Amino acid sequence: MLELTGLRKQYGDVVALDECTFRAQPGRMLGLLGPNGSGKTTAMRSVFGLVHLDDGAVRWRGEAIQPEERARFGYMPEQRGLYPRMRVRDQVIYFGRLHGLSADAASRAADEWLERLGLSDRAESRVEELSHGNQQRVQLMVALVHEADLLILDEPFSGLDPIGVAALGDVVREQAARGAAVVFSSHQLDLVEGLCEDIAVVNQGRIVLEGALDAVRSASPSRYVHASVDGDAGAAWHAGLEGVELLTARNSEVRLRVPADVDPAELLRTAQAAGSVVFFRFEPPSLSDLFMEAVSGVAE
C-alpha cells in the first residue's frame, strides 16, 4: 500500500501541498482529482523523490521508499519525458533494463507492448517523429514495461481521442487486475468514474474527499433529482420544498440538489401533484457532482 501522510510543500508564497494525506491500495485504481494547480502533480512527484518535501512522509508497504523499491514503480509524468531522438523500441527496452529486467525480458516485454498498443510498425521510429497520441503511448509503455508494483500516471489520457482513451483505459485496468496499485490523475471525470474504485480529491494542497467511490457517493450529504414535469405549475413543482437547490433548468426539465435524507417517494408525489411527470430520476451524486461539492466546499 502507498501512503502519503501530511505532505507539505511550499514554493515561495505558493502552497502546493498542505497536509496532504491519502493512500492507494494494491489491485485498485485511485483517481486523483483536483482543479488545476491543486497539488496533484506535486504529490505524485513526491513518490519518486522528485520533490523535496517540507514535511510529511511517503511510505510503501509501511516503510520509507528505498531506491530498489522505487525501481519497481512506474511513472508517467504529465509532460512528455522521453529521449526525443531515441528509437521507440530501444527506448522501451532501455527503461525496462533500468527497472531491472534482463536484456531478453526487456526486449520481449517491449515487443509485447508495442504489439498491444499498436505501435509495432513504429518500433524503429524516433520518438520525435510520432504524433502526440503515439508519444503518449510510448510514455505509458515506459511506465508499464517492467510490470510495476505501483503505477503513478499523471494525466495519462489527456489529448487522446476516445479510441485511444478506451484502449489505454483497458490497459491500465488490467494492471490493477494483476495486482498493481494504480494512481492516476485526470480531469475527465466520467472516465475516472468508469475506471476507478477509489478517488481522492485535492483542493489547494489538501485532500477534501477520499475513499471508495461507492462509499463516497452514498456518504454524500446530497442526492440529485433530474426530472421533467409537464403542466401549468410543472416547471416550479419544487418551489417551496425545504433544502432543495436548483442547479439547472431548461423548459420543464430541472436538476436539483436535495439533502440525502429526503424521501424520494415524497418528492415524486410532490411532482405528480404539480403535473404529469415525463421522467423522474433520484440518484446519488455523480463523480462530477462530488467533485464540485468537494471543491466548492459543499461537503464540509
Partner 1 sequence: MNGLSGARLVAMREIRERARARTFLISTALIVVLAFGAVGAATVLPDFFEDDPPTIALVRPDVPEGVAPLLEDGALGSEAEVLFVEAEAEARQLLSSGEVEAALLGGPTLAFRDEVSTNLEALANQAVRLATLQDVLAELGLTLEEAAPLIDPEPLPVTVLDPVEVTDSSGSDRAIASAAVILLLMSLTLYGSWILNGVVEEKTSRVVEVLMGALRPWQLLLGKVAGILALAVGQLAAGVGSALIAITALGTADLPEIGVEVGIAALAYMALGLLLYSFVFAAAGATVARQEDAQTVTMPITLTLVGVYMLSLTVVVNDPDGVLSQALSIVPVSAPLAMTPRIALGNPAPWEVGLSIALLVAMIPIVINLAGRIYAGAILRGGPRIGLREAWRSARETR
Would you tell me which residues interact with partner 1 (CB under 8 A)? 45, 48-50, 52, 67-68, 70-71, 73-75, 77, 79-86, 90, 94-95, 97-100, 142-143
Complex with partner 1: residue 68 or 261, whichever CB lies closer: 68
Diameter of the chain by CA atoms? 75
Complex with partner 1: residue 148 or 256, whichever CB lies closer: 148
For residues 43 and 4, the answer to whether their CB atoms sit within 8 Å is yes
Complex with partner 1: residue 184 or 291, whichever CB lies closer: 184
> Residue 146 Cβ, how far from partner 1 at the closest point, in Å?
9
> Residue 70 Cβ, how far from partner 1 at the closest point, in Å?
6
Residue with cell 530498489: 68
Complex with partner 1: residue 84 or 221, whichever CB lies closer: 84
> Residue 149 Cβ, how far from partner 1 at the closest point, in Å?
12
Complex with partner 1: residue 83 or 243, whichever CB lies closer: 83
- Cα 38 to the chain's mean position, in Å? 14
For residues 101 and 87, the answer to whether their CB atoms sit within 8 Å is no
> Residue 95 Cβ, how far from partner 1 at the closest point, in Å?
7
Looking at the DSSP bridge assignments, the partners of residue 249 are 254
> Residue 6 Cβ, how far from partner 1 at the closest point, in Å?
18
> Residue 71 Cβ, how far from partner 1 at the closest point, in Å?
5
Complex with partner 1: residue 59 or 255, whichever CB lies closer: 59
All cell numbers assigned to 214: 461507492
